Amino acid sequence: MSAIPMQLLSDNATVGPDGNLSVGGCSIAEIAAEYGTPVFVYDEAHLRARCQQAVAAFGHQQVVYATKAFLCKAMARLVYDEGLLLDVASGGELAVVLAAGVPANVCTLHGNNKSMTELREAITAGVRHIIVDSFDELDRLDVLAAEQLGPVPKVLLRITPGVSAHTHEFIATGQDDSKFGFNLGNGDALKAVDRARRSTSVELVGVHCHIGSNVFEASSFAKAAAVMADFAVPLDLPELVLGGGLGVAYIEGEEAPTIAHWGNVLLDACQALGVRSKVSVEPGRAIAAAAAMTVYSVGTVKHIPGVRTYISVDGGMSDNPRPVLYGSGYESFLPRAVTDERAMTARLVGKHCESGDVLSFAAQLPADTAVGDLLAMPVTGAYGHSMGSNYNKITRPPVVFAANGDARLVVRRETYDDLLRADIG
């Protein structure tokens, strides 16, 4: 197989005369030597460029970054500095954003089962919007109104439009059979609008939908826009949020719409459909995924004649559970040999006590891949760090932002003391 396609690497990934890889002017080998492996390496300028593309496509404060894709204090500050709002889906995500010095009034609170505590924290902090997901949540907001925590919260209602996106069933959210939102087809959506409009506990300012994650077909977004426009235009509310879910290419041969194309499809559809509301979107993966790679060290190379070759690295499902959860595909390569042909097929596995701890079922790598090599997996900037775990009590990897020749540690590697911090015996 050919060398790793350079278009899968971040914008500022370069190969030196010696064949070694750098990101943002920083040597991957030097980053690994300083911070150890596994390590997430983010191209900071790439992150900023994707934020800027989204703002150019949709407008200032009409892009809401989905923090579930990747969040730390440095990332919260970065997207805020670039003019994005932030979508938080738990009290913990809100706490991280606030700890970063980002004001609550640029945050929107999501979640299909927000607790009383989370709602109370959001109202007290003064979040911009709460995206209401159920009648039970409206009940909770009625109870909280009696506590007089602050101004009446502005809310959007999450609508399930009955649009099926072409993606994995676990990350499809717009179909009728969904745990999210008020169902449009059975009349719940209209009932929720009527209740919210009559309520003194909330101020209804708009409606929201989200059809799924890692969607590659722009037509799916246009279909959702058409369904939502048909519902929203007669309501004449100030805001319409059409969610996120724009896919990215993970493996050779995949193609995804650009952020600009996504914007054109959605905004042209809304204009043609007579939408007068301010239209916003919630990208996460499209901002963060391709900005990062995970760098591992090869620990074992095990050839089983007539069966397969296993290559084990020092991470695995604890830093990237997507292959296990969704069967997601990834490419891999050696940072010392970026342009080399990848002639060996191997199963790339982690160090966890699970046969299912697989990062790539059929990884293509150079034939001379050996113990001690650095091995990189690109397009891991979304849903790697954020979905990571401590399975087998593995400490979670550090996060490094690389830009202008400076590799900046933004999340340190966990220690054994971190593992024991909450364990009171």
- Residues identified as active-site: 353
Of residues 367, 363, 336, 335, the one with CA closest to residue 350 = 363
**CA-based R_g, the chain, Å:** 22
Residue with tokens 């015996």: 425
Cα→Cα distances 337→15, 35, 42, 176, 251, Å: 9, 21, 20, 48, 18
Residue with tokens 């009625």: 142
365 forms beta bridges with 344
Q: Is the dihedral of CA 185, 186, 188, 193 positive or negative?
A: positive
Cα→Cα distances 349→160, 252, 323, 359, 382, Å: 38, 20, 10, 5, 20
Of residues 80, 75, 86, 20, the one with CA closest to residue 400 = 75
**Rounded distance between C-alpha atoms, residue 151 and residue 228, angstroms:** 28
**Rounded distance between C-alpha atoms, residue 276 and residue 239, angstroms:** 9
8 Å CB contact between 2 and 378: no
Token pair, residue 147, equals 């506590």
2 burial via Cβ count (<10 Å: 0-12, 13-18, 19+)? exposed
Of residues 386, 407, 402, the one with CA closest to residue 45 = 402
**Rounded distance between C-alpha atoms, residue 423 and residue 416, angstroms:** 11
* DSSP letters spanning 39-99: EEEEEHHHHHHHHHHHHHHH-TT-BEEETTSS--HHHHHHHHHTT-EEEE-SHHHHHHHHH
**Rounded distance between C-alpha atoms, residue 425 and residue 421, angstroms:** 10
**Rounded distance between C-alpha atoms, residue 355 and residue 9, angstroms:** 29
Helix, strand, or coil here: 111?
coil
